[in-house]
Structure 1
Amino acid sequence: MARRFVTEAVMIAIYGQLMVPSQPVEYVMPYSSLMELYDLMESKDPIMNQEEEDPYIRKNIEGLVRFFEDALNKKKIERALGSPWKKSPSLLVNDKVSITVVYALENAEYGEKFDPIETDLILLAIREKVPVLTDQYEFVDKVIEGGVPVQVFDIEDFEYAVEEDVPLEH
């Protein structure tokens, strides 16, 4: 059975190790984070702090957008847009990675402390009972300080998180 994580689409574009896990993994992402890829592609602002990494990451983002725009994948994603909280069928990336897109709808429950995508991540993690995978320390701090009932793994701990014997809290 695949380990499941809620994450943002941009995390997959930035961190190549997420595409070559030691165990099968399913990434569940809110549709809003997929749409953020388009904003990042169009933006002239740097995506990465290190200037030399920016062209590489932009190329990865463009590749991920092409993956989502593939006719079959696009059709699967569009199925999820029919109603709130509907999930797309799995999008197979390779033999160990699949992605499910969810049409998450932000609500005011966490909207004051978190931005809309963070709120979508939290609500999706709670709804799916799976941990969030992120590199955003500020987000992790806000989750802890706010007592938000989700488990969060830092990208640095990804391999640990996919190990079969690591219990995932619900």
Structure 2
Amino acid sequence: MSRTFVIEAVMLAVHGQLLMPGRPVTYVIPYTSIQELYELQTSHEPIMLSPEDDVYVKQKIRELIAFFEESFNKKKIEKALSMPWRKSPPLPINEHVSLMIVFAVDTEEYGESFDPIETELILTAMKEQAALLTDQLEMLDRIVDAGVPVEAYDVEDFEFAIDGDYLV
């Protein structure tokens, strides 16, 4: 059985272990986080602290963009963009990982505590009844402090999250 997580697209570039899980995983990605990849690709600001890691992650971002722009995948994504909260059909990355793109809409429900992409991640996790996976510890703290009713994991606890035995 596949485990479902809501994540930002850039996390697939930054955290390579997400593409090599021990069991099947589906990542639900808000479309705005894909748009963010284009901004990160053209930015001269470093994404990672070490120059070597930064070059590597920017290459992975280019690969992700190319994946999303492949004709077949692009058609699936465009289908999701026809209506708010619609999901694309699965986009398989490998035998254990598939992506689903959702046309999430920021309703400003959590606007005071979270930025628009964070709000989309939270709302998507709630709508999909899926766990949220992030590398932003301060976001996890704000989720707990705000009493947001969503299951959330730190990416460092990914293996525990796959098993569903560890809750933040």
Query: Could you tell me the TM-score, scaled by structure 1's length?
Result: 0.95
Q: Is the 8 A contact 1:130 1:168 kept in 2?
A: no
Cα-Cα RMSD = 1.4
What is the CA-CA distance between 1:151 and the residue it aligns to? 1.0
| Structure 1 portions without partners, runs of 5+ | none
What is the CA-CA distance between 1:167 and the residue it aligns to? 7.5
For residues 161 and 108 of structure 1, the distance between their equivalents in structure 2, rounded to whole angstroms, comes to 28
| Structure 2 portions without partners, runs of 5+ | none
What is the CA-CA distance between 1:59 and the residue it aligns to? 0.2
Question: What's the counterpart of residue 166 of structure 1?
Answer: 165
Question: What's the counterpart of residue 119 of structure 1?
Answer: 119
Question: What's the counterpart of residue 41 of structure 2?
Answer: 41
Question: What's the counterpart of residue 73 of structure 1?
Answer: 73
Question: What's the counterpart of residue 8 of structure 1?
Answer: 8
Q: Is the 8 A contact 1:160 1:166 kept in 2?
A: yes
May I ask how many residue pairs the two structures share in their alignment? 168
Question: What's the counterpart of residue 135 of structure 1?
Answer: 135
Query: Could you tell me the TM-score, scaled by structure 2's length?
Result: 0.96
**1:79-90 alignment to 2 at 5 Å?**
79-90=79-90
Aligned AA (1:96): H
Question: What's the counterpart of residue 149 of structure 1?
Answer: 149
Query: 1:38 aligns to what SS in structure 2?
Result: helix
Query: 2:110 aligns to what SS in structure 1?
Result: helix
For residues 55 and 149 of structure 1, the distance between their equivalents in structure 2, rounded to whole angstroms, comes to 37
